[in-house]
Structure 1
Amino acid sequence: MQQKSKRKAELLDSEKPGAVVAPITTGYTVKISHHGWDQSDKFVKIYITLTGVHQVPTENVQVHFTERSFDLLVKNLNGKSYSMIVNNLIKPISVEGSSKKVKTDTVLILCRKKAENTRWDYLTQVEKECKEKEKPSCDTETDPSEGLMNVLKKV
């Protein structure tokens, strides 16, 4: 009886793949948090500095565009992957007209503006909200009674 259960266990083990080892080309994914951006009449340009990115195969640098977002994935750069996702662009972009360029140590993402000759004050909606929160709508830094004193001094 023991031999049957032993044989059954051997059969079950033989059905399992030997060692399930995925070919690991990259250790982990690093989230890109720093970038610069600029604009022309037709494009919003996002600059991402990645040392050595020009040495990876071009198919390892992928950008996916939607009307209000883009995501960048750089695979197998110095044993790591790098990713950057930008959602809620302040204005719509043309998916077909947008592209990427890999330059020395830099990835340049070109987002084609749907409405040419428009100025983007911010890249994303979140950035706009954060910057507008920083601007005090009224003098919130001073004591409220100090404002009353200033009014009385003027009178």
Structure 2
Amino acid sequence: MADARDELQKDLEEIKELLLKTTRKRVRDVLMTEKYRIELEIKNQPPPKPKDVAEEEKSTLAGYTVKINNYGWDQSDKFIKLYISLKEVHKLPADNVQVHFTERSFDLLVKNLNGKNYTMTFNNLLKPISVEGSSRKIKTDMVLVMCRKKQEEKWDCLTQVEKESKEKEKAAYDTSDPSEGLMNLLKKMYAEGDDEMKRTINKAWVESREKQSKGDTPMDI
């Protein structure tokens, strides 16, 4: 921010020098307009922070940053509530726990908790939230993020990605042919299962096919 202010100040000084040299009214009017605009922009710049404050902020963001993946959540008609467990977070200054909300996302930043920074980002929330109505609360060893729903209704999940994943999974098994639905389920279990699960499915598959006529060809899983 200080760099931006310095650059604006340099522009202003150069315009002042040009004003001293120009003799054309039209050029002078243009330069005066630009001079006024830059002076207004400098005036609206936030004041530079004292060096000790800037250094303190820099130190709070120094160190290792941890991405938060574990959380719990529930909901009411009005709020989506996320519970993030962080030991001793309640001992931090309140300003060290920051949440930035948009209509479809939020970012959590916890600064300098036992020498580490913690972040969590949720993008593409399932439905819009109210930025003004959303907030965070600091509890013992926990941060509670409260997203105020724009419409009072139940959500099936937290994000659009989760919704799309569920719809794809449902479509895979939602078929008019029951055997095809079972086949899709077995394929999923086989793909996601450990070695023991795969051996069990293979054995069941072979035994099932042996009971059928020899002309049938087993389908690969």
TM-score (ref. length: structure 2): 0.52
> What is the identity percentage for the equivalent residue pairs of Structure 1 and Structure 2?
66
The Cα shift of 1:142 comes to 5.5
Q: 2:129 aligns with which of 76, 93, 100?
A: 93
| Match of residue 129 from structure 1 | 164
Q: 2:115 aligns with which of 73, 76, 79?
A: 79
**Pairing of 1:4-153 with structure 2 (within 5 A):** 24-25=59-60, 26-116=62-152, 118-135=153-170, 136-138=173-175, 139=181, 140-141=184-185
Alpha-carbon distance in structure 1 between the residues aligned to 2:98 and 2:167:
33
> What is the Cα-based RMSD across aligned positions, in Å?
2.2
The Cα shift of 1:28 comes to 1.5
Higher relative contact order (CA 8 A, sep 6+): 1
Check 1:76–1:132 CA distance in 2 against 1; reply closer, same or farther (3 A cut). Answer: same
Alpha-carbon distance in structure 1 between the residues aligned to 2:174 and 2:138:
42
Matched residue count: 124
Greater Rg, structure 1 or structure 2?
2
SS at match of 2:130: strand
Alignment deviations for residues 29-55 of structure 1 (CA, whole Å, 9 cap, x no partner): 100011111111111101111111101
SS at match of 2:81: strand
TM-score (ref. length: structure 1): 0.73
Check 1:29–1:142 CA distance in 2 against 1; reply closer, same or farther (3 A cut). Answer: closer
Check 1:105–1:142 CA distance in 2 against 1; reply closer, same or farther (3 A cut). Answer: closer
SS at match of 2:110: strand
Q: What amino acid does structure 1 have at the position aligned with 2:166?
A: K
Check 1:141–1:127 CA distance in 2 against 1; reply closer, same or farther (3 A cut). Answer: closer
SS at match of 1:88: coil
Moved more, 49-58 or 125-134: 125-134
Q: In structure 1, list runs of 5 or more residues that go unmatched.
A: 1-20, 150-155
Q: What amino acid does structure 2 have at the position aligned with 1:34?
A: N
Stretches (4+) displaced over 4 A: none
Alpha-carbon distance in structure 1 between the residues aligned to 2:168 and 2:86:
31
